[in-house]
Amino acid sequence: MFEAIQEVLIALWHQDFDTLLAPGSAVLIYIIVAVLIGMESGFLPAAPLPCDSVVVLVGTLAAVGVLTPAIAFPLLIIAASVGSWLAFLQGRWLNKLPLVQSWLDKVPEKNMKTVDALLRQHGLVALFAARFIPGVRSIVPMMMGMRVKDAPRFHYFCWLSATLWVCLLSGVGFLLPSLPDTLSRAVTMGLMAAPVITLCAAIMTALTWRIRKLLRGNKPPTSKA
């Protein structure tokens, strides 16, 4: 059983259609894909997982008859939504820890009120946009779990964004087999590179902001004449 799971995982990573087309592999693909999407959506250490590419691959496998679209697509939506809910619950749990509370107590009350206002006004939009940004999918729900109490609205935008995310990426994957080989390869490579590029851009932006902040802090005060 473990060898079969390992074989399917390697085949998914390398997009080895010959292995994935083997009889009896569909059930394992359903399980592995659902676990990957749920982990990447709910746990920050799983952010590097290439789940955007996995969703596209599921669409392609559905197009060639390996997977059933009526099972695969709803399963991905459920896994993504449940993952975000787990991240939301982690935020609720972290907010109760004494260490986290001590950090929050050091933040000026005015700043915390500003954060709360931004989350109430724009948090759901951020939740919707974060679904399409690798590495951020689990951070925004976690922050909302710490500061936002309106769980029903969270669920609404969570399921809506997960549905659009799965439909968009899996829809692209579903169309890939009908495209010319050259165009299909180019689209696949672009979709595989997009999460890495987005994640690197986010890291570089954060590092640049941090360095600029340190440089401003170390800048000597100007003397007044």
Domain-embedded: residue 131: yes
pLDDT tens, position by position, 69-128: 899 999 999 999 999 899 888 888 887 777 666 655 665 666 556 555 656 666 667 777
**pTM score > 0.85 for this model?**
no
Range of the domain at 126: 2-218
Domain-embedded: residue 106: yes
Closest by CA position to 66, among listed 121, 21, 100, 110: 21
pLDDT at 225: 47
Contact 56, 74 (CB under 8 A): no
Cα–Cα distance, 30 to 25 (Å, whole number): 9
Long-range contacts of 43-46 (CB under 8 A, 24+ apart): 43/83, 43/86, 43/87, 43/90, 43/138, 44/138, 44/139, 44/142, 46/138
Domain-embedded: residue 223: no
Residue 205 has pLDDT above 80, yes or no: no
pLDDT at 161: 86
What residues have CB less than 8 Å from 93, skipping those under 6 apart? 145
Least confident range of 33-37, 169-173, 179-183: 179-183
Domain-embedded: residue 64: yes
Number of domains the chain is built from:
1
Cα–Cα distance, 24 to 99 (Å, whole number): 48
Contact 19, 11 (CB under 8 A): yes
pLDDT tens, position by position, 43-67: 877 777 778 878 888 888 888 888 8
Domain-embedded: residue 24: yes
Closest by CA position to 174, among listed 25, 61, 54, 13: 61
pLDDT tens, position by position, 143-169: 778 777 777 878 888 898 899 889 988
Residue type, 64: V
pLDDT at 146: 78
Domain-embedded: residue 225: no
Domain-embedded: residue 224: no
Residue 149, classed as helix, strand or coil, is coil
